[in-house]
Structure 1
Amino acid sequence: MPVSALTAADWLTLAAAWIAAIVMPGPDLFLLLRLGIRDRASALRAALGVMLGNLAWILVSVLGLSALLRAIPGALPALQLAGSAVLIWIGVQSIRAGFGDLRDPAAAQAVRAPSARAFRLGLVTNLSNPKALLFFTALFSQMLPPGASWWDRGAIVALLVLIGLLWFCGFALAASARRFQGWFRRASPWIDMIAGAVFVLVALAIVAETVPGLLH
């Protein structure tokens, strides 16, 4: 078995940084919350989609492809602006759904059937936030020694994916628990609107950071 170039402290720091990042409320968790209070299967599908998106960002960073993106003028800002547009679209749809349920309380109380689109929605939501690329790039630049082996890189990917699956699927299961649904289903229109506002605010924050750099 190859000897890891990372110390035990490195592995603990890596895991702690990843856990701190994914437990912080953001679009991914708000999406799982708004789906979970209606349907468990949809929330779990979305959780898997979220983790597939995270896996893509992890692989791009750990394989060093993020340096290629940074070397192409305008590539990262273009990704950020495109992702922001998608986040705003998802946010507006969520806000509209919340207003629609307020006008029709019976619709808000109804349990919606599992959606085949939930997985895709989780994937798109995660990929629409290119700031994840910056996070992973910064994390790996600190944690990965220059001569890190492929064993180390593969082990890091496996560790982060395992932690992510446990967290996001666990959150989806908790949000879709019957007792939780009973408490929050009546508030689902407001949760939709709050989630939508979070999507829009995150997108606007990304735009506010990106545009000034393009103008200079």
Structure 2
Amino acid sequence: MIEYVHQYWLEFLTIASVHLLAVASPGPDFAIVLKHSISFGRRAAIITSIGVGVGILIHVGYSLLGIGIVIKTTPVLFQVLSYFAAMYLLYLGWGAIRSSAPKHLNSVEFKKTMHIISDNKAFMVGFLTNGLNPKATLFFLSVFAVVVSPDTPNAIKLGYGLYLAVATGIWFCVLSLFLSSKRVRLYIAKKGYWFDRGMGVVLILLAIKLVMPV
């Protein structure tokens, strides 16, 4: 029994370490949380972060059901997923690029004219951004194929997946708290729309990268 616990503990530490490196690297999830923190404020950014975390469960689900093997061995299917993700990122990026300058440039009036996004939309943007992210697909295929033993029970694998979902959500929530702090928001208040446009360009470049041949 102790040997089994030791085995799963080593698996967990390996997964947690790899996940820390993956979640900290810039990507669609980071870009959209950053954008929402600046454009819509703390509440929207945190809800978006929760959506990103819940989106992880999509990858956990198909990994446990064995669908990940189908995706891995069917290049056309993976390519279709990449195109869907690219189109979604293009949609988000184009909307960001069209951001206009606020009529009032002082920090007080800027706060009054802040854009508003519904909780449901903020959640779904985060959820779909991660759920359609091929990078996340590759991460889970690699983790469940290389790190996790085939003999590991599905209950343990589910535990790994839940940890990844919660850890991802917490990471981006903490990031949201920092980025949406009063000091940071006031710093970019007058030129925030330029930042929004910049993030739009980043999202579009990420979309292009998804469909470009390696």
Provide the C-alpha distance between the structure 1 equivalents of 2:94 and 2:20, rounded to a whole number of angstroms: 29
Runs (4 or more) in structure 1 with deviation over 6 Å come to: none
Aligned mates of 1:198, 1:126 — CA distance in 2? 16
Q: Which amino acid aligns with 1:24?
A: S
User: Are 1:131 and 2:112 counterparts?
Assistant: no
What is the CA-CA distance between 1:64 and the residue it aligns to? 2.2
Question: Distance between the aligned counterparts of 1:186 and 1:29, measured in 2?
Answer: 23
Are positions 1:57 and 2:55 aligned together?
A: no
- Given residue 140 of structure 2, which amino acid in structure 1 is its aligned partner? F
Q: Answer with 65-74 or 198-207: which moved more.
A: 65-74
Letter in 2 for 1:150: N
Taking the aligned partners of 2:179 and 2:42, their CA distance within structure 1 comes to 8
TM-score normalised over the length of structure 1: 0.85
Q: Is the 8 A contact 2:49 2:126 kept in 1?
A: yes
Q: Does 2:177 match 1:176? A: no
> Aligned equivalents of 1:114 and 1:207: distance in 2?
29
Alignment root-mean-square deviation, CA: 2.4
Query: Percentage identity across aligned positions?
Result: 27
Number of aligned positions between the proteins:
207
CA distance in 1 between partners of 2:134 and 2:209 (Å): 12
Q: Which of the residues 95, 111, 119 maps onto 2:114?
A: 111
CA distance in 1: counterparts of 2:133 and 2:154, whole angstroms: 27
Shift of 1:114: 4.7
Shift of 1:7: 4.6
Alpha-carbon contact 2:53-2:167 (below 8 Å) kept: no
| TM-score scaled by length of structure 2 | 0.85
Amino acid at match of 2:101: D
Structure 2, unpaired ranges of 5+: none
Distance 2:89 2:13 in 1: 32
8 Å contact from structure 1 (residues 5, 145) kept in 2 = no
Question: Structure 1's 34 and 72: CA in aligned 2 closer, same or farther, altered over 3 A?
Answer: closer
Give the aligned partner of residue 208 of structure 2. Answer: 204
Say which is worse superposed, 2-11 or 25-34, in terms of deviation.
2-11
1:30 and 1:142, CA in 2 relative to 1: closer, same or farther beyond 3 A?
A: same
Report 1:34-183 matches (<5 A). 34-37=35-38, 38-72=40-74, 74-97=76-99, 100-101=100-101, 104=103, 106=105, 110-116=113-119, 117-183=121-187
Structure 1 residues 114, 74: CA separation in 2 closer, same or farther (over 3 Å shift)? closer
